[in-house]
């Protein structure tokens, strides 16, 4: 994987090659027969900042998608575990509350999500047309109790990923919400990784979320690029990876 986040420990390692390249450009290139002039190697330009006087407004109260939030309208979970909670009821309550809170702007949830949830029946699994993915129980907070991981598929491509936990007082709390094109969702120990397509058909982005007890939410810990698995002959896209 190649990290998209700058890492300070790399600076010292690249200093020597950059210095050597600068000296070579200034003095010409050396080979076994001596110095030779390669001509003008061009000018190095500093990055140009676009629209530096324009800044986005900060999110209003409750408008930060990744923030933890108690799901309203649900009874307390007696066993303090998502195993004792109806997963579909949790998703319904959360999506309904988020839609009402953001007024249909899409800041917190895709405006089509409520309409999609209307396809779910009263069956335990929501019925054959329900867009809610089968719930997965996995401990991502490290407290020994399982969290609920699920997603609402919106249009065959976009999905609303949700992760829920139960607080000590029994309240069901959303600790991660993420809208994206889920090529794959992976869990390992207290990590949850999302694989999403990029503009390069040979690479996917991988967002690694880790539990942060200070914020009470799953925070983005690392963002990297990963090469697609071996592409099939004639294929130009990453094969879908099921979570």
Q: What is the pLDDT of residues 201-214, one digit of tens each?
A: 999 999 999 999 99
Q: Is the pLDDT of residue 118 over 50?
A: yes
Q: What's the pTM?
A: 0.76
3-state secondary structure 32-60: CCEEECCCCCCCCCCCCCCCCCCCCCCCC
Give yes or no for residue 143 having a pLDDT over 80. yes
pLDDT confidence of 184, banded at 50, 70, 90? very high
Convert the pLDDT of each residue in 212-239 to its tens digit. 999 999 999 999 999 986 554 455 556 5
19-33, 105-119, 143-157: segment of lowest average pLDDT: 19-33
């Amino acid at each position: 994987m190649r990290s998209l986040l700058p890492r300070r420990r790399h600076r010292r390692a690249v200093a020597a090659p950059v210095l050597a390249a600068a000296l070579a450009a200034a003095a010409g290139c050396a080979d076994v027969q001596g110095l030779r002039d390669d001509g003008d190697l061009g000018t190095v330009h500093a990055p140009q900042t676009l629209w530096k006087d324009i800044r986005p407004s900060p999110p209003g109260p409750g408008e930060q998608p990744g923030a933890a939030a108690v799901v309203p309208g649900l009874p307390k979970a007696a066993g303090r575990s998502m195993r004792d909670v109806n997963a579909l009821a949790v998703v319904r309550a959360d999506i309904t509350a988020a839609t009402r809170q953001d007024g249909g702007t899409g800041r917190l949830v895709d405006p089509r999500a409520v309409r999609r949830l209307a396809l779910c029946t009263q069956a335990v699994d929501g019925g054959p047309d329900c867009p809610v993915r089968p719930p997965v129980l996995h401990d991502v907070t490290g407290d020994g109790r399982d969290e609920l991981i699920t997603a609402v598929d919106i249009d065959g491509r976009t999905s609303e990923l949700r992760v829920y936990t139960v607080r000590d007082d029994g309240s069901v709390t959303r600790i991660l919400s993420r809208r994206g094109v889920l090529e794959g969702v992976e869990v390992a120990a207290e990590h949850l990784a999302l694989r999403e397509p990029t503009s390069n058909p040979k690479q996917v982005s991988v967002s690694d979320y880790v539990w942060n007890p200070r914020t009470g939410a799953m925070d983005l810990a690392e963002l990297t690029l990963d090469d697609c698995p071996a592409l099939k002959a004639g294929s130009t896209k990453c094969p879908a990876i099921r979570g």
